[in-house]
Amino acid sequence: MEEPENPKPIPAYYCCYLLRSTVRHASLYIGSTPNPIRRLPQHNGVAKGGAKRTARDKLRPWEMTLVVEGFTSRVGALQFEWAWQHPERSRHLDCEDDLDPKPRVKANANAKTGMPKPKPKAQTRRSLVAHLKDLLSLLRSAYFSSWPLRVRFFCVDVYRAWRAWNDRVDTHLPGNIKVILDGDNLATSPNVKQDDELAPVGSINNLSVDYTRIEDHLENSMFMLEDPEDLQCTVCKASISPDQEQVVVCPHPNCRGTSHLLCLSTKFLDATNEPDLLVPTQGTCPSCGNTVQWVTMMRELSFRNRAEKEARAIIRKKEKRARKESAAMEASSGPRSSSIEPRSLPEEASQGDLGPNWFEEVDIESESDFEGRQKNHSSRHPSKLEIVIEDSDWDDAELIE
């Protein structure tokens, strides 16, 4: 009800990553960032702001062996990161492995003491396999399993270990979580297509971490919704008023399907035969008949509704670039090289308008190492901490470290 004035749009990109020292493979680090392209150099000391744990020269350079991407909110990414970092304390893992009673007991104990669970800190360094195991458990947990996540492996050996573990456990990821082989796993460097987020990109630097991926979609929707008179919901056939309603636009380039958020979601949900489901993962566009990912539409919707200026800036950039491209007639490799440019630009533009609040700040804070962030947040929320003593991992997170 008391929604913050400016709710943040779904981030263009947010991932948790497993960092590994190329020098000593036993050294691992889990972090999260909305921009791994910038984050990795930080870890390697090329840029400022690396995590303390990754600061030892002996261990540098680091490599991102895998990333879990597709988080729809920074909070979610941080929760996942924390759970992955603290598997022994995460409720999601316990729920996963054990039956229900145990976590409940723990929760009670936690509520009583109001302190972190009695479990020891257990800072024993975990092996790669252990991390992978935790990752699998997390991805299969009730909480995260329905999230539109993707796991992207950049290192062959890590993927091998992952596979080995999967075989051993004889379990599989939920269907909505995709595994992408990337980097070393590919014989040839892939031809990067921006709009397909499932496609391998070859290296971290080729990841698309900004909203440029949705710029076409955005352009399309904004163009359509600017003149909504003749538009109507594809589901309920009522006229739509984009200013007052949440209107979803089909991401397909040629589709002009618009619909109310609730209408379309209801339609999608009805199709799933899962009455308890509240968020569809995908559905068939009633207009064009193509299968559309729900998160894609939501990303566009939230960005359009909550960051209008940035959206317009992106559109302008795109138009400018298009003009340039058409003028210069660059080679086919253009999109790839030029993609770097738009990546940085929209962020800069957005920074001034939205302030550090929503997605630029993310870079600074969340990318800093875990300790730093914890400190930052704990100092920020001390007063609230007292009020809410309910059992929660997040309380723990505040208190830990």
Partner 1 sequence: MASIADVIILSSSPIPPRSPGLARHDLKQVSHLLPRGETPPPIRSATDLSQTHTRSRFFPTPIASNNYPEDVTKPKKRSTKKDPTANTNNKTASSKPRRKAEKVADAPETIPHGDPQRETVGTKDDTVKPTKGRPRKNAKNKDSGNMTLAGKVTKTSGDPPAKKPSKSGKKTVATKLSPLEDMPAKVTPKESNALGKDEVLHLDEAMRRRTDWTPPRETTYEEIATGNDGGRQDKERDPNLTGGFGKRLSDYNYSGSALNPRDLVQDANGGGPTKRRRIDLVSPEIQALLNGRYSDSNDQASAQGESMASAKPKKTTKSKPKKFTTLTARMTAQYSTIDAEQDEPVFDCIPDIGTTKGRRRKTKETEKEYSFTVLSPEAAVEFLNDQDLVFGTCSQLEIDGSPQTLRETQQAICASECLSYPEGTRNKNSREIQESSTRSVSRLAGTRNLWCVGARDTEGSLIQPEKLNVVDLTGGGESPAKKSHDNVERASYKPLQRDWFELEFTDIDSPPAQRPSSPPSTQRGLDSETQAQALVQPPAPIATATALPKAKARATKPAKPAKGADNTPTEAVGSQPTASQGPSMPQYTGFTDAELSKQVSTYGFKAVRGRKKMIDLLQQCWKSKHGSNATSGSQPIYQLEQQKEPVSKIYDIPSPISDAKAKATVKSKPAISVKNRKSLDATKSPSVSQTNLQTGPKKNSRAKPITGTSTSFIDVEEIQDSEEEIIPSPSQVQKHYTDIYSKSKTSSQVQHHSLDILTKTPSPSPTKRKVVSSKISVKRPSSSASITAMRTAESSKEISLADISAQITQAVRVQPRLSPLSSSRGSRGRPTWHEKILMYDPIILEDFTAWLNIEGLGLVGEDREVGTASVREWCESKGICCCWKKNASW
> Which member of 164, 198, 340, 388 binds partner 1 (CB under 8 A)?
388
- Range in contact with partner 1 (rule: CB under 8 A) among 181-189, 238-246, 321-329, 332-340: 238-246
Does position 111 interact with partner 1 (CB under 8 A)? The reply is yes
The identity of residue 175, as a single letter, is: G
Q: Token pair for residue 76?
A: 């979610």
70: its two tokens = 């597709």
Q: How far apart are CA 143 and CA 12, in angstroms?
A: 21
* Per CB under 8 A, 147 contacts partner 1: yes
CA angle 291, 295, 296 (to 5 degrees): 65
Given the complex with partner 1, which of 237 and 384 has the nearer CB atom?
384
In this structure, what are the phi and psi dihedrals at residue 234, rounded to the nearest 5 degrees? -70, -15
Which of the ranges 17-25, 34-42, 219-227, 382-390 carries the binding residues for partner 1, by CB under 8 A? 382-390
Residue 81 found at the interface with partner 1 (CB under 8 A): no
* Residue 125 beta carbon to partner 1: minimum distance, rounded to whole angstroms: 27
Query: 173: which 2 tokens?
Result: 């990821």
**Is the Cβ of residue 14 or residue 62 nearer to partner 1 in the bound state?**
14
Q: Give the integer Cα–Cα distance in Å for 167 and 163.
A: 6
Q: Is 367 in the site for partner 1 (CB under 8 A)?
A: no
> Whose CA is closest to 175, among 137, 143, 200, 149?
149
CA dist., res. 169 & res. 265, Å (int)? 35
Closest CA to 119 of 94, 154, 153, 148: 94
Residues in the chain, total: 401
Q: Give the SS3 label for residue 40.
A: helix
Nearer to partner 1, 371 or 390 (CB): 390
Q: Are the C-beta atoms of residues 381 and 398 closer than 8 Å to each other? A: yes
Measured from the CB of residue 184, what is the shortest distance to partner 1 in angstroms?
31
Over the window 330 to 359, marking each residue x when it contacts partner 1 by CB under 8 A and - when it does not, the resulting string is: ------------------------------
Does residue 262 belong to the site contacting partner 1 (CB under 8 A)? yes
Candidates 25, 61, 116, 143: give the one binding partner 1 (CB under 8 A): 143
Q: Applying CB under 8 A, which residues contact partner 1?
A: 1-4, 7, 10, 72-76, 78-79, 91-92, 95, 107, 111, 142-147, 241-246, 261-262, 265, 276-279, 294-295, 298, 301-302, 305, 366, 377, 380-381, 384-385, 388, 390-392, 394-395
